[in-house]
A and B are shown apart, each in its own frame.
Chain A
């Protein structure tokens, strides 16, 4: 790895995340703990001083630490079919046998908040957690956004539930949501998201100062610390470092020859290793659809309607035609030469329409597309030999 320049900010972000988990462990004794889904309106809970934890992020951590397979086996032994989402299987394995899990598992939740805007699996996963822990569950039901902008009755439904959620949180924690605290939290969230968008935009430079695996490491704060000052600080620092790189003409991949687009969730147990052959061939992943998913635009003035719009319009909740427009736009703006799509067994929303997206990118933009069949956390589904062959052939075809 040493021939590729390392971003110091990434190390800082990793440290922030290590501290995040350590601190949560301690603070869980004094503050109410809520497990939340990655697409949940965390700003409400953050503003109320409720400690939030993300089982999905924990699943990714288990994948990155190569601990997921053992945890999946534990879950499967209990009866969970092996074809279910591997984030859920890993986390449930950790819940069942925390001693065998990274960090010895997460602190027990007092509450569960499940937002359905990312997939249907979370509903069942959180239902299982409610059974296991015997704690209250709030389901924030976000309908599919089949038209942009979404129909008013959908926005009203989500906004109503946000108010319901607030009352529910107040009732269960005894804490109140103060409007000025919510404003402050939303402002921080807006700023973090805005900085994140700027960071992603750096990929448009030639050479790009940033590569997709860097973004997979860097995304943790905008997912898990959105609404905090800490996330804003992380991204100001990263942005400055990227500005400096651009000023000096430093690319994440020296001698950048090919600019590629990545689709779907990361392969966590091959976080950098997967990209090594690409980097060696001068290929940099300048854009991706996964980190772009955290670009919710939050309206500070109309908090509940604003959050309703933002959380209904998350990338993965949009219809295919809209997602295709976004991806095609990314490909054009970032001037990509090819696309690599991770056919992620675990995530139907991200993977089920991949062939359509592939065909559209090939036909409309003339881009070569490689599909890699694997899984985001379950390393048993990763066939090293097959992947290497396909990657090599793809790189050769880029010419």
Chain B
């Protein structure tokens, strides 16, 4: 396709990107901006994370007018509220709600998810005025799989990149669908860290990690490693393939899988990447990550892995974050 593709925005880590791509869009994630969210705050109470507040604020400020739409999957209460507010206050950017199930396994989930994907496909078709064929879907699955493979390959180099560079690469990927690998910047004796949370847009965090000379060797970010870990099948029914992939990924905190455990994955990551410690980068007011932090931290403490909790918000003071991270480096540097 040679023509410029329209952009469709999304929040939440379980939108069916392949379907959006097949409809002719490039799906782009709406990262929060550190500017004052005055417009957003008129509509949202203060106890909502800044990712949601900033998205609404940017929309109200006309900064997202190039988007053909916004896709929100059911994940947390804040984004669910955003869907309601968006419909009323940003009518020029149509909202597509994707009822992603909260369960990832169980006998009823697959058929519901397939039906919901068919429903979303119908709604998008109604909006664009042209059909989304199965062949187009398969092409898009293939395209998305290739992108994921590139990101997986990039992740094999994460330990040799500076954290700001690596995560800037990932953000660029989500904003422009292009992957530009960062220059390696190895620091052989750097303390090795795993990051957990939903903080891809918190640029200040990565800068601090670089300043203290740490290297990230893996992450459990909602939009990080786990997001790219599985591909969708390129044969068979394409919507089923997309559904299958969404259910196969390691759950984010808002999803329940009866056997796939975030605790186990984190412990495994720490072990296989020889991490010295874990930093939890939690957005203030984020309920899912707030509860999840306690289970994960407890598991780490039980096996003696040092960890640090950082609570992030729009007005995060770099100095305060830096002190905590530095002190944590001093703790893990002992060993």
Residues from chain B with Cβ under 8 Å of A151 in the complex? 119
The segment from A73-81, A228-236, A273-281 found at the interface with B is A73-81
B 63-101 binary contact with A (CB < 8 Å = 1; else 0) = 000000000001111101101110111000000010101
Instruction: Report the bound CA distance from A354 to B102 in whole Å.
Output: 25
Interface pair B45/A354, CB less than 8 Å apart: yes
Instruction: Report the bound CA distance from A121 to B254 in whole Å.
Output: 9
> Which residue of the partner chain B has the closest CB to A143?
B99
Instruction: Report the bound CA distance from A80 to B74 in whole Å.
Output: 24
Instruction: Report the bound CA distance from A355 to B89 in whole Å.
Output: 12
Is the C-beta of A161 less than 8 angstroms from some C-beta in chain B? yes
Query: Which A150-188 residues have a C-beta within 8 angstroms of B?
Result: 151, 153-154, 156-157, 160-161, 164
> Which residue of the partner chain A has the closest CB to B256?
A139
> Which residue of the partner chain B has the closest CB to A85?
B287
Instruction: Report the bound CA distance from A172 to B104 in whole Å.
Output: 21
A141-B102, A348-B47, A352-B45 known; A120+B112 contact, CB < 8 A? no
Instruction: Report the bound CA distance from A396 to B253 in whole Å.
Output: 47
| Contact pick for A81, options B106, B108, B290, CB 8 Å | B290
A144-B99, A153-B119, A355-B42 known; A131+B295 contact, CB < 8 A? yes
Interface pair B112/A320, CB less than 8 Å apart: no
Chain B proximity of A145: nearest CB distance (Å): 10
Is the C-beta of B297 less than 8 angstroms from some C-beta in chain A? yes
Interface pair A153/B116, CB less than 8 Å apart: yes
Interface range for A: 35 or more
Is the C-beta of B103 less than 8 angstroms from some C-beta in chain A? yes
Interface pair A352/B78, CB less than 8 Å apart: yes
Chain A proximity of B251: nearest CB distance (Å): 10
Is the C-beta of A294 less than 8 angstroms from some C-beta in chain B? no
Interface pair A127/B88, CB less than 8 Å apart: no
Residues from chain A with Cβ under 8 Å of B89 in the complex? 356
Is the C-beta of A351 less than 8 angstroms from some C-beta in chain B? yes
Is the C-beta of A128 less than 8 angstroms from some C-beta in chain B? yes
Is the C-beta of A123 less than 8 angstroms from some C-beta in chain B? yes
Interface pair B77/A116, CB less than 8 Å apart: no
> Which residue of the partner chain A has the closest CB to B290?
A81
Chain B proximity of A164: nearest CB distance (Å): 6
Chain A proximity of B289: nearest CB distance (Å): 9
Interface pair A345/B47, CB less than 8 Å apart: yes
| Contact pick for B291, options A80, A143, A319, A353, CB 8 Å | A80
Chain B interface residue count, CB cutoff 8 Å, equals 51
Residues from chain B with Cβ under 8 Å of A125 in the complex? 291
> Which residue of the partner chain A has the closest CB to B284?
A83
Instruction: Report the bound CA distance from A164 to B287 in whole Å.
Output: 28
Interface pair B291/A127, CB less than 8 Å apart: yes
Main secondary structure of the interface of B (DSSP, over half): helix
Main secondary structure of the interface of A (DSSP, over half): helix
Is the C-beta of A379 less than 8 angstroms from some C-beta in chain B? no
Instruction: Report the bound CA distance from A354 to B43 in whole Å.
Output: 8
> Which residue of the partner chain A has the closest CB to B106?
A164
Interface pair A352/B44, CB less than 8 Å apart: yes
Instruction: Report the bound CA distance from A345 to B284 in whole Å.
Output: 13
Residues from chain A with Cβ under 8 Å of B116 in the complex? 143, 153
Residues from chain A with Cβ under 8 Å of B84 in the complex? 319-320, 352-353, 356
Is the C-beta of B288 less than 8 angstroms from some C-beta in chain A? yes
> Which residue of the partner chain A has the closest CB to B84?
A320
Query: Which B171-228 residues have a C-beta within 8 angstroms of A?
Result: none
A131-B295, A349-B77 known; A83+B290 contact, CB < 8 A? yes
Instruction: Report the bound CA distance from A343 to B44 in whole Å.
Output: 11
Is the C-beta of A119 less than 8 angstroms from some C-beta in chain B? yes
Chain A proximity of B291: nearest CB distance (Å): 4
Is the C-beta of B294 less than 8 angstroms from some C-beta in chain A? yes
Instruction: Report the bound CA distance from A144 to B74 in whole Å.
Output: 8
Interface pair B106/A348, CB less than 8 Å apart: no
B 266-303 binary contact with A (CB < 8 Å = 1; else 0) = 00000000000000001011011011111101100000
29 residue pairs A–B, Cβ–Cβ below 8 Å: A80-B291, A81-B282, A81-B293, A83-B47, A85-B287, A120-B254, A120-B287, A121-B291, A125-B291, A128-B295, A139-B103, A141-B102, A143-B74, A143-B112, A154-B112, A156-B115, A157-B108, A157-B111, A164-B106, A319-B84, A320-B85, A348-B77, A352-B45, A352-B77, A352-B78, A352-B85, A355-B44, A355-B45, A356-B89
Chain A residues engaging chain B, CB cutoff 8 angstroms: 78-81, 83-85, 88, 116, 119-121, 123-125, 127-128, 131, 139, 141, 143-144, 146, 151, 153-154, 156-157, 160-161, 164, 319-321, 343, 345, 348-349, 351-356
Extra inter-chain contacts (7) besides given A157-B101, A356-B43, CB under 8 Å: A83-B284, A121-B77, A153-B112, A320-B84, A320-B85, A348-B78, A356-B84
Question: When A and B form their complex, which 5 residue pairs have the shortest distance between CB atoms, in order from nearest?
Answer: A352-B81, A124-B291, A153-B115, A320-B84, A157-B112
